[in-house]
Amino acid sequence: MHADISSVNSELGKHLSPFYLEHNYIIPSKLLLPHDSYAYISEAWHSTSQLDHCFSSSDTHGPLSSMNILYNLAVSDHIPISFSVKVERLPEVFVGNEGVCQSNLNWSNVTKSELRSYSIKTEELLRKVVLPNEAIRCTDPNCANMKHKVDICTFYDRIIRALIESGKPLHKVVGSSNIKLAGWNMYVAGFHEQAQVATREWAQAGRPRQGPLCKKKKKLTHARYK
């Protein structure tokens, strides 16, 4: 993400702050980097600022560490940021319908050639994802255009599907597709599927904050697992 969130004069910063507050995102680049860090050098103003930020949900923040700004690698006005991800500490992800992501992928078991095939396949599949140009260029933070909302949801969905598809062979290698959770099918799978359908319907309707679809989605995604 690219905005000066510390400045009240930054147009993008004004949009970005409500966005991360609304979604309870954490800004690891703010927490893990020294306060005097900068990732942007303005030659015109002879000044530096911290414009480039990483956002994460609270459960993915834990696995992040050793964040650095690579000042010695600066080749443009923006300076690269590096960080480590302890993949074994990433939260579990369940994608019931796909049947392959029942567990985290153990990346340390993936060989270089498998990683290479994964990277080629990922690039091939992501190239096919059509950019919804009009929706992406829309700058209205309170946009009510239903087509924009549906296009963004579809775009996101296609990226996720492409990544799941290219990761499939790696799951077979490490055998994690066979991992079953005790009681999952008997007690939870049905509700999980209903919750997924409700979430999809809600997303396709433009993620309304109220109304029957929103209520149904909330009911199925929050209440039944507890």
Q: What residue ranges bind Zn ion (CB under 5 A)?
A: 138, 143, 145, 148
Nearer to Zn ion (CB atom), residue 145 or residue 185: 145
Nearer to Zn ion (CB atom), residue 28 or residue 206: 206
Distance in Å, CB of 99 to Zn ion, minimum? 35
Distance in Å, CB of 201 to Zn ion, minimum? 21
Nearer to Zn ion (CB atom), residue 22 or residue 36: 22
Distance in Å, CB of 143 to Zn ion, minimum? 3
Nearer to Zn ion (CB atom), residue 110 or residue 138: 138
Nearer to Zn ion (CB atom), residue 18 or residue 62: 18
Three-class HEC string of the chain = CECCCCCCCCHHHHHHHHHHHHCCCECHHHHCCCCCCCCEEECCCCEEECCECCCECHHHHCCEEEEEECHHHCCCCECCEEEEECHHHCCCCCCHHHCCCCCCCCHHHCCHHHHHHHHHHHHHHHHCCCCCHHHHHCCCCCCCCHHHHHHHHHHHHHHHHHHHHHHHHHHHHHCHHHCCCCCHHHHHHHHHHHHHHHHHHHHHCCCCCCCHHHHHHHHHHHHCCC
Distance in Å, CB of 207 to Zn ion, minimum? 13
Distance in Å, CB of 151 to Zn ion, minimum? 9
